[in-house]
Structure 1
């Protein structure tokens, strides 16, 4: 296993939500109606030159709705549908969790029961749009009643201690708070475009939870600022025996991306320009 190279600085850069081509506008309307997200800008941009067509809509908190048409499976830009849910949860904080849960139930939106979770707070999962794209809402009584703000990313693992060490070595994460006796560890990465850190909850999965590779529609992205470091990091992960995709995007000049999987098959996306 390669040990002479350390991971470059990874900056959390928001998330892609992979949306079916014919559902792109309807999905954006759902996020506008239920989460009060706004359209930042819209682009007819192909995530990979092998795409026939492409669409991207930027919205709140560095989130992009991404759709594309292609005649072949791309090396990096894809998501699986109709399989098990990912153990990676993108979380957003609200003040009135119970009230929002009741309202969405009344509107016929699929939601989980409210449950206690890491960080000594409550959560529920919601399956957004007609595609059933899962997001997670988290209670934060310090917010104003009409606020919805980003929180941490939750990642479920089967061996908490081993995974924490893995994230330190291969992603450069730092421990913020060790609550391993409570079944989770709070870790951090730098946040792109801001002088603060992003937070990640690494949590112990239950024994019956699915463990294995999942390519969900919600895909958090980490950014590497130096393009050469991006390609070096890709080779480092491959040389370390970590399952890593081929590089997708514009390899000869432009945005490039790949993904890799942790010890439990959780997917992490990496991009650079």
Structure 2
């Protein structure tokens, strides 16, 4: 195995894989139900093998990405019509019950409100006509109305082993240990605000939860600053016995990406420029 130090990873926001024909309607859904706005809009292809592409940046570094291609791309794809991922991208709101009632009365599919990590309450909801799952979380300390970012929840089957795995292969740091309650809070630095951290909750799955690879449409992105480190990191993960995709994107010059799976099949996405 190659001797290699894991590069410093930074959380770089998230991408949402949207079907080509639904791209504009997805924008309107997020505008209507999450009060988001379009910050940037491009006809951008995530891979040179695409025939067409669309990329729309909305709030909090969240990009909607759609593409057309005649071949299966090595990285930019999502599997649909299967079980839900054990990755939850969470959004905080001041009045969870009010938001839950609003969504439900407007035909948005939601779960019941439930208790979760951090001693607070949550509900899952399915965005757009495609049914892309997000999670709302109550935070009474928020002063303004609307929805703001929270942490990323990762369901794992063995909490202690996963803590070490994320330390060893992503360089995550422990922020708070609530193992006795079935979860821990870990962190990566933010990419564009490097004095701040993104929080990642590893939580113990129930015994009946599905364990296995899931290529969901919602992808938190880990950024590798140095391009050479990015390619070496891909090799390191592969040689460490971790299943990784081939590298997609513009490998000669431009954005490059790949994904890898943790021991429970959670898909982790990595990019560089």
Identify the TM-score tier after normalising by the shorter chain: over 0.9
**Aligned partner of residue 203 in structure 1, secondary structure:** strand
Shift of 1:5: 1.7
Alignment coverage as a number of residue pairs = 272
Distance (whole Å) between structure 2 residues aligned to residue 152 and residue 21 of structure 1: 28
Find the counterpart in structure 2 of residue 45 from structure 1: 44
Distance (whole Å) between structure 1 residues aligned to residue 101 and residue 146 of structure 2: 17
Where does structure 2 lack aligned partners over 5 or more consecutive residues?
none
Distance (whole Å) between structure 1 residues aligned to residue 146 and residue 14 of structure 2: 20
Dislocated runs of 4+, deviation >6 Å = none
Shift of 1:6: 2.1
Distance (whole Å) between structure 2 residues aligned to residue 254 and residue 107 of structure 1: 41
Find the counterpart in structure 1 of residue 231 from structure 2: 231
5 Å-filtered alignment, 1:1-273, equals 2=1, 4-144=3-143, 146-194=145-193, 195-273=195-273
CA RMSD of aligned residues (A): 0.8
Distance (whole Å) between structure 1 residues aligned to residue 3 and residue 197 of structure 2: 26
TM-score when normalising by structure 2: 0.98
Shift of 1:10: 0.5
Distance (whole Å) between structure 2 residues aligned to residue 221 and residue 112 of structure 1: 26
Given that 2:132 and 2:217 are in contact with CA atoms closer than 8 Å, whether structure 1 keeps it comes out as yes
Deviations 1:84-137 (A, max 9, x none): 000000000000000110111111110000000011110000000100000000
Given that 1:122 and 1:138 are in contact with CA atoms closer than 8 Å, whether structure 2 keeps it comes out as yes
Given that 1:76 and 1:257 are in contact with CA atoms closer than 8 Å, whether structure 2 keeps it comes out as yes
TM-score when normalising by structure 1: 0.98
Distance (whole Å) between structure 2 residues aligned to residue 63 and residue 244 of structure 1: 23
Distance (whole Å) between structure 1 residues aligned to residue 258 and residue 3 of structure 2: 22
Deviations 1:130-160 (A, max 9, x none): 0000000000001125131100000000000
Deviations 1:26-82 (A, max 9, x none): 000000000001000100010000000000000011100000000011000000100
Distance (whole Å) between structure 2 residues aligned to residue 72 and residue 206 of structure 1: 37
